[in-house]
Structures are given as structure tokens and as C-alpha cells.
A and B are shown apart, each in its own frame.
Chain A
Amino acid sequence: AGISRIFGKVPLSLSQACLVGSDEGLQQKLAEAVLREKKSFRINIRIATSLPLPSEGDHLRPRIDLIAFMIDIKSKYSLRNVEASLAYVDASFFLGKVCFLVTGVGRLNCCSVEMSAIWKLREVYSSPVLFCELELEGIRVATAQRLLRMLEICAGLIPGVSALYFGSLMSRSANY
């Protein structure tokens, strides 16, 4: 069960993103923001509270192009949930098809998660971390646009730019 292999499915003209996190309300809002954006390709967004995804319907499920893990630093549980879910992701996804969305950093007084835990995730999984206060509409729209762009790249719809190339660009700029 779970997202086992990227190349095990026939690619369609549909690209699919998967949002994994413990705050369903926020995931829903983000998904809606992404779908509202103008785009030239069809997308499908799957929302899950954790991985693995249920195994029934696995054969009908299109290939997943991007997984965005959502962590709220105000909730220790959201971090633990993501850490447990990461174990069910095939290693090949970490070549540019995974990113972490971290919310709640605007209110340091409420933080239950140490920043070093977030940096560790970025290092261990070689995936970019985007800080976004998704409760604010403006930032939600901006994040939706970024995710859409990343999804387009991960689905291979931008000629000359692969997910791996883009991922390495992101990580190099994060270190400066």
C-alpha cells in the first residue's frame, strides 16, 4: 500500500498533487486556492491526513507528481504525523517531488516545534521547506501559485526543467 512507485503508472495529461497534513480545514482551503488559479493543464489534488493512502482504488489512482507535507509549528502532533507518513514514501520521490509547507512561524509565542526539527527534515529528505502563513488569504494565494508551478515542473510539463533540476536549484538557493 502507499505511494509505491512513480513509474508504475501510465502518465496521463492529468497531474496530481497530494497534500498530507493533520489540519484538514487548511488543506481544503489551500487545495481550493490552487484549483482557482488559471492553468493550462488539468490537475487533481488529493488530501490525506496521513500516509499510507488506503489501498483500495490503488489501481485506479493516477500517478502522483508532487507530495506536499504540511506542518504547523503550533502543533507537535502535526510534525509527528508527517514524520510517520514520510516512512511510506518511496525514495525516488525525494528527487524533487516532495516539499514541506510550514505554517505558524508568525506566532513564535505559540510554537511547540523546534526549528532545528524542521531543518533536520530539510536535510534528511533533501526537500525544500516553504514557510507560509496559510491562514492569511494573500499568502495562501501566493503559496498556491508556487505549488502550481512546482506541480507543472514535477509533471514534466515544462520542457527542459525536470523535478530533480528544480529541486536542486531550490536547495542551493536556500543555503545562501
Chain B
Amino acid sequence: ARRAGGPFANPEERKLSLLDPQRIAFLLRKQWTLYSVTPLYRFSNAHLRNYSRLLSAFIAAERQKGWAVEVGVELDIKVAVSSLPDLKGSDQDHAAILVELFSRSPASQKTSEEKLIWSGWFCSVCGDDFFENMPEDFTCLPLFLTNGAESYTAIVGSWFQKTFDCCFHRLAISPLNLSWMAAMWTGCKVDKTASAMELIFSVPGLLQPLDISYAIHPEDAKALWDTVQKTPGEITQEEVDIFMDCLYSHFHRHFKIRLSAAKLVKVSTAIASAHCDGIIKVSLGPEIGVLAVVWTGRLLCPLAETQA
């Protein structure tokens, strides 16, 4: 299997590097929970203001029915739905859609002090061949990333499900895809103060669960990856396998433990980290951070399509 990877490998990614850092600052240094979404029916960029209003009303109605996040706290919730036109993988992809929930306590109604309490964004970074058979009236935004309380996610999700007849499912990341991410992110050039690359494994079949954490110096990891990767800008499954096998055999030589028989559950590098439960966090930015999201998205979008 051959996939693109590596900084500025193709023209779309070079375009991404010109993104306004302010606009994409929202996605850095936050933990995002991943969901796969089926195509949305009759979603339109022209009605984003309407959607904000409708979602606000829906949340207010739910609150009336007795749904509350924090007991005893009266919050006025404002919804903002906006489009991020440049955040997409290719021209065929639909632009990312950002949904933000702000809270304003009644006491400070006069002042415009708003606090961001929840955000979620839909994105499509699938590339051109994905949309060949997409019927009209359907918008494909297969990845949904959320940050904030689970109860807000549930309410926003149920509004979207009712309004656009779509389904949300938590997205899990397999050890295979986590290995891809480890290789992709290791290949990026980071400065000397970068944190270590950490791989966390869970060992199955024991009475007491056992987690193994394997930390590798980022320069060593990059040096290893550089000897393995043949074509800059391209990553193959074979190269990922060799990279991981080297790390596993190094560990085995020292500790006589076969990590290849355990389950890789988390990958953490200076650029980004990902957990098998479908949680990612992008640390560095802006360009590298966005690229990390795009590569991850490319890896996960087809996954999202099959799981949805």
C-alpha cells in the first residue's frame, strides 16, 4: 500500500501551508475525539446562520426538558456554525465546518464575555477519487472531531442526526493505523527540544492488565526512519513494517519482550498523539500541525467511510 506523507508532498498541502494560522489555531493543543459520519442530506453552506439559530433553539428546548450539564448553573448557550474554506484535502473535498458553543452567564449579559465551552468540526480530506459515486443532495464530511463535554457532543450530534439524517459512530484506530501515524509523524523535522516519541502497548490475556511504555529519543527515531524511507513524500506499508520491526527487535534485545504480540494502543510524538479509542491531539503548529491532521484525516477518512 502506498500513501502520501511527508511535508509539502503535493500541491494541496503547499496550499495548506498558506492557511491563516489564526484560523486554524483552534485545533492545536486540544484533545479531539473522533467520530465517523455518514453523508449529510441537504446540507448547505448557504444556511450556516440558520443552522446556528436552529441548533441554539434545540439546545434551549432540551434544557427546558430538563437536560443539564452542570446542576444549578444557568448558562445561556450561543451557537456559531462557520465554514473553513481552506481546510480540506483537495478541491473535491467539501470545506470543513466548525460548530462552536459559547456560554454566557446571565450576570455578564451586558458585557460580551463569552466562553468557548465546546467545539466540533466536520472535515473531509479524502481526495479526488472518493466522490465519484456520491449522489446529489448529499454532502460528504466523514470525519467529526469534538472537544468538550460528552453531553454537548450528544446534543449536537442528535440535532445533526435529526436534521440531516446522518449517523455518528465513534471511530477507533487500529494498531496498524497507529503505526502509520508513528512513521508519518516521525518523518517530520522538529527542533532539538522536541519530546520523546512514546509508544504504549497493552498486553492481552493477563489477570492484571499490563501497559508497556516505550520511549524513543526523537532524533534516534527520525534517524531510523530516514534510513528506511526511500522516497521523500511517500510512505509504503513495507517501510512502516520495517520501521516498527526495528523498534520491536531493539526492545526485545534488551527486555526479551515481544511487543509485536501486544496491542499498540497509543502513539505520541512531538507533533501529535493518537489513541486507539479514537482520540487525537495535535501539538505543534501551525503548518506542521495542520499537515498532521490532514495526513491523519487521509488515513482515517476511508476508515470512517467503511465504519459508518
Contact = CB atoms under 8 A, between A and B. Distances in A.
A112 B174 contact: yes
A109 B174 contact: yes
Contact of B175 (A22, A80, A112, A116): A112
A111 B175 contact: yes
Contact of B176 (A77, A78, A112): A112
B263 A112 contact: yes
B51 to A, nearest CB: 32
A116 B174 contact: no
Contacts of B105: none
B53 interface: no
Contacts of A22: 261
A109 B276 CA distance: 8
Interface string A94-121: 0000000000000011111110100000
B13 to A, nearest CB: 25
B237 A76 contact: no
Contacts, number: 42
Given A109-B276, A114-B237, A76 B174 contact: no
A77 B252 CA distance: 12
Interface in A90-148: 108-114, 116
Contacts of B173: 109
Contacts of A113: 176
Contact of B258 (A77, A108, A109): A77
Contacts of B276: 109
B172 interface: yes
A116 B240 CA distance: 14
A74 interface: yes
Interface size class for chain B? 10 to 19
Nearest to B248: A76
B174 A111 contact: yes
B301 interface: no
A157 B225 CA distance: 53
**Residue from the set A22, A78, A112 with the largest chain B CB neighbour count within 10 Å:** A112
A171 interface: no
A75 interface: yes
Interface residues of A, number: 15
B263 A74 contact: yes
B260 interface: yes
A110 B265 CA distance: 9
Contacts of B174: 108-112
A116 B1 contact: yes
B159 to A, nearest CB: 27
B264 interface: yes
Given A114-B1, A116-B1, A116-B237, A76 B261 contact: yes
A75 B260 contact: yes
Contacts of B237: 114, 116
Contacts of A76: 175, 244, 248, 260-261
Contacts of A74: 175, 204, 263
Interface in B242-273: 244-245, 248, 258, 260-264
Contacts of B261: 22, 75-78
Interface in A71-88: 74-78, 80
Contact of A109 (B172, B204, B248, B260): B172
A71 to B, nearest CB: 12
B182 to A, nearest CB: 13
Contacts of B248: 76
13 contacts: A22-B261, A74-B175, A74-B263, A75-B262, A76-B248, A76-B261, A108-B174, A109-B172, A109-B174, A110-B263, A112-B263, A112-B264, A113-B176
Kindly list the 4 A-B residue pairs having the minimum CB-CB distance in the complex, ordered from nearest: A77-B261, A77-B260, A109-B172, A76-B260
Given A74-B204, A112-B176, A114-B176, 6 more contacts: A74-B263, A76-B248, A80-B245, A110-B174, A111-B175, A112-B174
Interface of A: 22, 74-78, 80, 108-114, 116
Interface of B: 1, 172-176, 179, 204, 237, 244-245, 248, 258, 260-264, 276
